[in-house]
Structure 1
Amino acid sequence: MANTTNKQTSAGVTTDTTHFGFEEVSVNDKKNRVRGVFESVASKYDIMNDLMSGGIHRLWKASLIDWVNPQPGEAHLDVAGGTGDIAMRIIDRVGRDKAGPVTVCDLTPDMMLVGRDRTIDQGILKGLSWTCGNAENLPFPSRSMDSYTIAFGLRNVTHIDRALAEAKRVLKPGGRFFCLEFSQVVLPILDQIYDQYSFKILPNMGQLVTNDRESYQYLAESIRRFPPQDDLISMMNSAGFEHCSYRNHTGGVAAIHCGWRI
């Protein structure tokens, strides 16, 4: 699903447009606006994750790592890896002296700088690398990775189908794709509470903590534009992944999807 449409300007020129939250923007503009969101919140990003989820995101990420089950010597790629939270969890799970090459790839250098400084402070000096790149055009060789993770990043991609195709390309045969993302709430009542929280409380929290209401308004809107669980499974199948499945967490507030590259 490209999430794009063709729009003719007053001058008769046809341009591709896509969504940025609930706003319609040009395809060329979206990447810069997404980068701007994360540049704005980089220094407070991890604090806001704890605040806006009540710490529950840590349980979701722990479940992700359990499913990945990283092994010594495996090559792991974490796309939209930001400050390196998932990458560091992989390294800690395997052991710092046993972890294979773990690569963080992100569109926003400011996010990776925060993560790089943190890993240096924690003494993680080997086995972890940082690469600036776009999920739709990854700067890595084909069939080079044992696993691919993307946590809370796929909804920010303009062409999800291209990102999925790239994920399959860089995975070795037998490699697995994992996506942890906000998804569609499946429990009655909780969906109403979640809507109220997302659009009334979350942007105000963003204003208070990061002095940036707009970025967290975008976050709430981008979640609503993201494909529901079964739709994402269909997109993964179309990209060539096999044995695709997902697990809901917190009533579908978040979901983890997994697919195999055979």
Structure 2
Amino acid sequence: MAASSHLSLRPLPGHNRPIFRSICRPVLCAADRQALFNRIAPVYDNLNDMLSLGQHRIWKRMAVSWSGAKEGDNVLDLCCGSGDLAFLLSEKVGPKGKVIGVDFSKEQLSVASSRQHLRSKACYNNIKWVEGSALDLPFSDCYFDAITMGYGLRNVIDFRTAMEGMYRVLKPGSKTSVLDFNKSTGTLATSIQEWMIDNVVVPVATGYGLEKEYKYLESSIQEFLTGTDLEKLALEAGFANAKHFEISGGLMGNLVATR
């Protein structure tokens, strides 16, 4: 499917201020993105460690902490990939809690399941992996006590539908915590990000035969929303409050929204 750059402006019901709704954003469409994450699944974890110098583990712990997940909770890790956030959530909710990891990539879920079987903590038995779309969540309303989403929102083709879905399945008073690359409004952070992608990320990925797969990063960040826009998006989706935190000097960001 060819990528399209057409965007539509459509206000949410009851709101006069429209937000951007992507019909099919540049870079990749849904099927292409799914194929991309299937291809990179075997080396995804190794690349994350290498490219972030292990810092992604700190950022993910921060995201889980911001979600407010606690012992006994029923929680969702959306766009779970190989399961890093889901495993951290399972430690928070304990053996009496429940974690559901959802992703549209069969290969990523296969890696996550394999990792689960190699781990011995009893709490990891509470994780269930589900193949599904962030734009069509197969859960009833007000079902989860917390939601995390790590590096997933930037890769869906419709930000608004994804945010509305998270709002729908969250219980009142519960939080969603969305970690991703930060689209900075500052020139310094933006320049550092671009330099890192061009001079570190792509060359390293090229060594794994994945140059084309990782070149999409820069464009996907450019097409992402700023922290302020993410806060507005969450509020327009129905969340009671939303706060975006810049971390690692503005290279990364985490949206925390309360239903």
Category of TM-score, reference length = shorter chain: 0.7 to 0.9
Confirm or deny that 1:131 pairs with 2:130: yes
Shift of 1:251: 1.6
> Which residue of structure 1 aligns with residue 119 of structure 2?
122
Checking the alignment, whether the CA contact within 8 Å between 1:241 and 1:260 is kept in structure 2 is: yes
Checking the alignment, whether the CA contact within 8 Å between 1:186 and 1:252 is kept in structure 2 is: no
One-letter code aligned to 2:107: D
Checking the alignment, whether the CA contact within 8 Å between 1:144 and 1:172 is kept in structure 2 is: yes
> Which residue of structure 1 aligns with residue 79 of structure 2?
80
In the alignment, structure 1 segments of 5+ residues that lack a partner are 7-15
> Which residue of structure 1 aligns with residue 173 of structure 2?
174
Q: Give the alignment's Cα RMSD to 1 decimal.
A: 1.9
CA distance, structure 1, for counterparts of residue 204 and residue 158 of structure 2 = 29
Decide whether aligned partners of structure 1 residues 5 and 189 sit closer, same or farther in structure 2, where only a CA change above 3 A counts: closer
One-letter code aligned to 1:196: W
One-letter code aligned to 2:149: I
One-letter code aligned to 1:259: A
Confirm or deny that 1:65 pairs with 2:64: yes
CA distance, structure 2, for counterparts of residue 122 and residue 130 of structure 1 = 15
In the alignment, structure 2 segments of 5+ residues that lack a partner are 9-21
One-letter code aligned to 2:134: A
Shift of 1:194: 2.2
> Which residue of structure 1 aligns with residue 257 of structure 2?
259
CA distance, structure 2, for counterparts of residue 117 and residue 174 of structure 1 = 34
- TM-score (normalizing by structure 1): 0.86
Confirm or deny that 1:47 pairs with 2:49: no
One-letter code aligned to 1:5: L
Confirm or deny that 1:102 pairs with 2:99: yes
Decide whether aligned partners of structure 1 residues 101 and 94 sit closer, same or farther in structure 2, where only a CA change above 3 A counts: closer
> Which residue of structure 1 aligns with residue 147 of structure 2?
148
Checking the alignment, whether the CA contact within 8 Å between 1:247 and 1:257 is kept in structure 2 is: yes
Q: In the comparison of the two structures, how many residue pairs are matched?
A: 240
One-letter code aligned to 1:105: V
* SS of 2:141 mapped into structure 1: coil
1:213 to 200, 211, 214: 211
CA distance, structure 1, for counterparts of residue 159 and residue 183 of structure 2 = 17
